[in-house]
Structure 1
Amino acid sequence: MLIEKPFYFLRHGLTDWNKEKRYQGQRDILLNDEGIQQAYQAQALLKNEDITAIYTSTLCRAKKTAEIINEVHKVSLLESLALQECHYGSLEGQLKTDPEVDANWRKGVTPKGAEDYHSFSDRVLNAVNDILNSSNVPLIVAHRAVFWPISEATNIGYDIDLGNACPVLMHPPAADKINWSTEFIGA
């Protein structure tokens, strides 16, 4: 369960491994030129949003995306190990050939040497709740899998395709609802 407070979420810009469809996990892969451009496009979309702090994964692809966004906002930029992508064990660096791996991981089938989904989810949700417990209007810049426990906790489901550098505003449920809602910025 998440503290019911609006927040922004942004997946990092594109990397070569995203393009090649490789598991990145906690490998520190740089943004490619397209990913840098995507981060600047997200910056333009977010420039008029009332963001008062940016929280980012320590992995360079997320951190660089956050730094680009912050060129306009000039707010506190806070790094968090807890916002890092999942550790995918033996799959890191491998091509994504089995479309069921991610779904099976969320169901408890942990790849060899990988972080189990339950521990990963707890790590992410604890970090997000710590962020939401502040007085800030936060932007969280992280990773694709980091959004999965958030999706689960907010009852929005896994069917949202969160593209690279596509900002989303998460709205807590209205008084008569149980589900959060998402608003894609610039869509």
Structure 2
Amino acid sequence: MLTIYLVRHGKTEWNVQLRWQGWGNGELTEEGIHGALQLGERLKDEPIEMVYASSSKRAYQTAELIMGKRPIQIVRDDLLREMHFGDWEGRTKDEVIAQYASEVKAFWETPHLYTRDQGELFPQVYERAGKVWQQILENHSTGTVLVVSHSIFLRILLSYLKELPLEKLFKQEPLVNTSLTKVQIVDGKAKVVFEGDTSHLNG
């Protein structure tokens, strides 16, 4: 059996400032660092064989903090990056809403109909999520793997695993920073054991 743990990166300065991150990057906060270390303590006895992390700094650093001194390879992968938001990146949510109210409304309420001439669209990220998932399955048939990525990307990946249509993407609970999701591959099918767990966090 193959077990895959999915983790959202630690909290960043841009998360605190309510900025769209995407392919941009806010630095991890003290809370974000602490959360990653707490998750590392929770997973210290898990027989993790390999870690796949988004190539974005906040995700890769989170993976490093989780693994600590364990001699386990961390593979950076562009396919695990957050959805690209174009010129929204680095701007606050209020700034973007003030200029692009209808597009932001479509983004959250009708993602299957959302369209812009910048950044990525949801079907493109869905395809990217499916591609990287299949690559991981090709590389691992048994054992335990850790994947560190981003909020919207992970919800899209979970939609892919659950075979949910994109219009139901945001009906799922949001994944908080350094939350843990466990997926097991049984007879070739993905089973979500638990989702967005934060029992390792305190404070």
Q: TM-score, normalised by structure 1?
A: 0.85
Aligned pairs, number: 182
CA distance in structure 2 between the partners assigned to 1:100 and 1:174 by the alignment: 40
CA distance in structure 1 between the partners assigned to 2:144 and 2:107 by the alignment: 31
Q: 1:120 aligns with which of 125, 136, 141?
A: 125
Higher-Rg structure is 2
- The residue number in structure 2 matching 1:137 is 144
Give runs of aligned pairs for residues 7-26 of structure 1, distance below 5 A: 7-26=4-23
CA distance in structure 2 between the partners assigned to 1:54 and 1:23 by the alignment: 26
CA distance in structure 1 between the partners assigned to 2:182 and 2:106 by the alignment: 28
Change (3 A) 1:45 1:105: farther
- Structure 1 runs not aligned, ≥5 long: none
1:10-54: CA deviations, max 9, x gaps?
000000111121110100222111111111111111112221100
3-state DSSP of counterpart to 2:129: helix
Across the aligned residues of Structure 1 and Structure 2, the Cα RMSD in angstroms comes to 2.6
- The residue number in structure 2 matching 1:182 is 193
Q: 1:93 aligns with which of 68, 72, 90?
A: 90
Which residue type is aligned with residue 25 of structure 2?
Answer: D
Q: TM-score, normalised by structure 2?
A: 0.79
1:104-140: CA deviations, max 9, x gaps?
5731313441111111111122012101222352100
Counterpart contact for 2:184–2:190, Cα < 8 Å: no
* Structure that is richer in helix per residue: 2
Which residue type is aligned with residue 157 of structure 2?
Answer: I
Q: Cα distance, 1:5 vs. partner?
A: 4.2
Q: Cα distance, 1:65 vs. partner?
A: 0.3
CA distance in structure 1 between the partners assigned to 2:111 and 2:71 by the alignment: 36
3-state DSSP of counterpart to 2:64: helix
Which residue type is aligned with residue 171 of structure 1?
Answer: Q
- The residue number in structure 2 matching 1:103 is 108
- Structure 2 runs not aligned, ≥5 long: 98-103
* Structure that is richer in strand per residue: 2
Percent identity of paired positions between Structure 1 and Structure 2: 25
